[in-house]
Structure 1
Amino acid sequence: MRVFQHVSNHVPGPCRFFEGVEQGSEDIVLTSSGLAFISSGLTPRGFNLDPVYSSFVPRIFVFDFQNPSNGAKKVNIVPRSLEEDFVPHGLSVHEYDLGGVRLFVVNHAKGHEERVEIFRFDAASNSLNYIRSVTHPLLYSLNDIVAIGPESFYATNDKYSTGFYSRNVETWLLLPWSNVVYYGDGEATIVADGFRTANGINLSPDGNFVYVADSNTGVVSVYHRQEDDTLRRSHDISLHTTVDNVFVDAKSGNLSVGAHPKPIQLAEHFQNASRPCGSQVLRVENPAEKDARITEVYSDDGRSGLWGSTVGCYHNKQLLIGTVNHKLMLCTIDVPL
């Protein structure tokens, strides 16, 4: 549990919080034009949660790296009736001809049905227009998703168990039952398994590698993507921390990994949201190679007020850091990630 791990405080440049997203930012994904979509208002799954989580309102926001002073704005969901059964978690962007953007959203529907929602983003109206929902028996404990086509994707199931108590038993016994599923053409299949908690997932810019973060082992596993969309394991990158979401820089192919240096602090924070917990963002250079270079870009023991970093999204010398239940932080960086 890394109880005694020391957390050194350092930042990559000037950092500031900004208003707009106040109830966490579980995942952040980026378009080629610099628009970042943010999922917010997720209630963690666990025992004895702080009552603050009962007030959370699930929403999706958009942030423009080209105009950061505008902050984050709530995105309209069309039709609005979908918001009544909408709890967003992992996100992924699929871009197609003439600047079209589709957003894939893991939805923990309030009826306890796991779904992937596919939307078309309309920038003029700042709206996500519903296209379709994807359900399948193998998509049962969804966490994150990465789109590889207009209606195909890889997704992580962070647990095998679906019951409240059985999920927690699986977590505390460190059972390696978690997996990755490929979905396409109406069919789904398990393409990687043996994870304790398969969390964030992402794709290399050339589409040849898939990266999967296993929170409970502190490892990002690297897979070769095969022509039939199955996955062949290449190697593991040990980060020695509780990894969360994986962001891939479209230019360099480097990873930015949000992480929790002391998971016991995070668990205590979920029970009492006024208790500080640490944050980390790690850079992984050349992740597709076995000699990947790891650098700690951001680290804080909680004294800055950034509690529970989930993701680090990098664009144009700016790093946007998400949190489990608080504001976003934006850091300016002088060197590329």
Structure 2
Amino acid sequence: MWYSFVMVAVFGLVFQQFLSYRDWVDWSTKDVMNVNPGACETIIKEGGSEDITHIGNGIMLMSTGFGFLGPPGKMKAVDLNNGNKVITLNMTNIPSREDFLSSPHGITTWRDPDTGIFSVCSDQLFLYVVTHPPSEDHIEVFEVLKSLTLRYVKTIKDPKFDFMNDLVAVGKDKFYITYFARFRDYNRYMMETLMGMKNGAIFYYDGHKAREVASGFHLPNGINISPNKKVIYLAEAAAKKIRAFRRDSTNNLVEIWSNNIGTIPDNIDVDPDTGDLWIGSHPIGWKTIDTYFGSIPPCQVLRLKMHENTISEIEMIYQNDGTECSSSTVASYTAGKMIIGTVHAQSLVCDVGYLSKN
């Protein structure tokens, strides 16, 4: 009798997990409708641009070459004011390590507000890059010079930096960073994903060490901050949710809302003028997983219109079946142009002819 009860309970749990996984990967969805906001130009044909950030004046920085156990990646820039020109950035002062800039992932920048006042150097800008060497994750820190050269500054390590994804700087060498999954080994990582294990978390690094400030997430991905620096936004990929957290005086996080957006969100870009969130996302999850068997993952870009740091409306800006853009991870918008990045395929720049008003 007890054996039968246990078997029924186990079957019920397994079946429930199967239904949850089926819904997450959009098993019944085969195709998407193509949506373009205007003319689009392919600026990178392969190699991807996993994360992108706008540093002002139409200059976008991007991390390219994401892929575990592959060759070192590169940092590139796109000049939207100069024919969407792509520039591979030169680096100086770099360390002689074989694992340097291995699989560059999430990026963030921080502009020092004190420079230009009492400092000889003006407008000092720092770039932080999540990388994935074989044994542990690193944060590589660069100063972005006026010539768009990257001067290596330091490598930040911490015992908690195991399998990280994205980060957002809130001060010099201070940032929030997403702990994506517990296991680095691919087989155990897939088990963790399939079983719905909520091992993901957000850590705060204070310049010396990291500490957990939020937890219990299933594959937390992109992270960013509101223009007023009071709210942290998180893309929880496996839950198809955007979560918002209030920062307290000690940099701990208190969740204030979560919203299911019906698609797998990747990175989050925040419009500094409107506060709107631009999300690179994956509308058919199983095609993203099934790439090794020939599937072409589609692309999707959503604009989450914000009012007082909460979502007022969701607007689809771009969607493609994968022929023009495959597996979108990020989108950034400025002055009527949108740049879209992918895991390891194309990068696009699109004219945005129309945006609804807030």
Q: Which of 35, 39, 42 is the matching residue for 1:10?
A: 35
Which of 166, 170, 173 is the equivalent residue of 2:195?
Answer: 173
Residues 245-291 of structure 1 show CA distances to partners (whole Å, capped at 9, x for unaligned) of 0000111100000001111111112x15x642211000001165445
Aligned residues: 321
Give the 3-state SS of the residue equivalent to 2:98 in structure 1. Answer: helix
CA deviation string 1:164-215 (max 9, x = no partner):
3221111111111100000013021101111100100001111011001011
Return the letter of the residue paired with 1:318.
Answer: K
Q: Is the 8 A contact 2:37 2:352 kept in 1?
A: yes
Q: Show the counterpart of 2:14.
A: none
Q: Report if aligned partners of 2:275, 2:309 keep a CA contact under 8 Å in 1.
A: no
Would the aligned equivalents of 2:94 and 2:151 in 1 still touch at CA under 8 Å?
no
* Deviation for aligned residue 1:334: 2.2
Q: Which stretch of the first structure deviates more once superposed, 57-66 or 257-266?
A: 57-66
* Alignment CA distance shift 1:294-1:83 (3 Å): farther
Query: Does the alignment pair 1:242 with 2:264?
Result: yes
Shift in Å, 1:327? 2.1
Deviation readout 1:54-90 (Å, 9 max, x if unpaired): 5x651110112222x1521111222344573212110
Q: Distance in 2 between matches of 1:107 and 1:74?
A: 18
Distance in 2 of aligned mates of 1:78 and 1:38: 18
Q: Are residue 23 (structure 1) and residue 23 (structure 2) matched?
A: no
The 2-side partners of 1:80 and 1:245 are apart by 27
For residues 148-297 of structure 1, the aligned pairs below 5 Å read 148-269=170-291, 271-272=292-293, 275-286=295-306, 289-297=309-317
CA-CA distance at 1:35 after TM superposition: 1.7
Mean CA deviation greater in 155-164 or 213-222: 155-164
Q: Identity across aligned pairs (percent)?
A: 27
Distance 1:290 1:148, change over 3 A: closer
State the secondary structure of the residue aligned to 1:335: coil
Return the alpha-carbon distance in structure 2 between the equivalents of residues 287 and 117 of structure 1.
34
Query: Is the partner of 2:286 in helix, strand or coil?
Result: helix
2:126 matched to which residue of 1?
Answer: 102
Aligned residues of 1:139 and 1:181 also touching (Cα < 8 A)? no
1:138 alignment partner in structure 2: 160
Give yes or no for contact 2:174–2:206 (8 Å, CA) kept in 1: yes
Cα distance change of structure 1 residues 219 and 143 upon mapping to structure 2, 3 Å threshold: same
Q: Does 1:322 align with 2:341?
A: yes
Q: How many Å separate the matches in 2 of 1:297 and 1:280? A: 8
Which 4+ runs in 1 deviate beyond 3 A? 80-84, 287-291
- Contact residue 65 and residue 315 of structure 1 kept, 8 A: no
1:76 alignment partner AA:
N
1:128 aligns with 2:150: yes
Displacement after TM superposition at 1:162 (Å): 3.1
**Mapped pair 1:63 → 2:86:** no
Cα separation, 1, equivalents of 2:46 and 2:87: 12
Q: How far, CA to CA, are the matches of 2:67 and 2:130 in structure 1?
A: 14
Residue 107 (structure 2) aligned to one of 76, 79, 91 = 91
Q: 1:291 to 1:325 in 2, by over 3 A?
A: closer
Query: 1:305 is matched with which residue?
Result: 324
Q: Do 2:180 and 2:221's aligned partners in 1 also have CA atoms closer than 8 Å? A: yes
The change in CA–CA distance for 1:259 and 1:164 in structure 2 (over 3 A counts) is: same
**TM-score normalised by the chain length of structure 2:** 0.85
Residue 332 of structure 1, CA deviation: 0.4
Contact 1:146–1:203 (CA<8 Å) still a contact in 2? yes
- Of 41, 46, 63, the residue aligned with 2:65 is 41
Whole-angstrom distance in 2 between the partners of 1:156 and 1:10: 31
Q: Is the 8 A contact 1:241 1:260 kept in 2?
A: yes
Q: RMSD of the TM alignment (CA)?
A: 1.9
Residue of structure 2 in register with 1:48 after alignment: none
Q: Would the alpha carbon gap of residues 64 and 105 (structure 1) be closer, same or farther in structure 2, given more than 3 Å must change?
A: same
- Worse-matched range after superposition: 165-174 or 281-290: 281-290
> What CA deviation, in whole Å up to 9, does each residue of 1:71-120 have, x standing for no partner?
211112223445732121100011123322100100112x4221111110
Change (3 A) 1:95 1:284: same
After superposition, the C-alpha distances for 1:278-314 in whole angstroms (9 at most, x for unaligned) are 1100000116544531111111122x32110110111
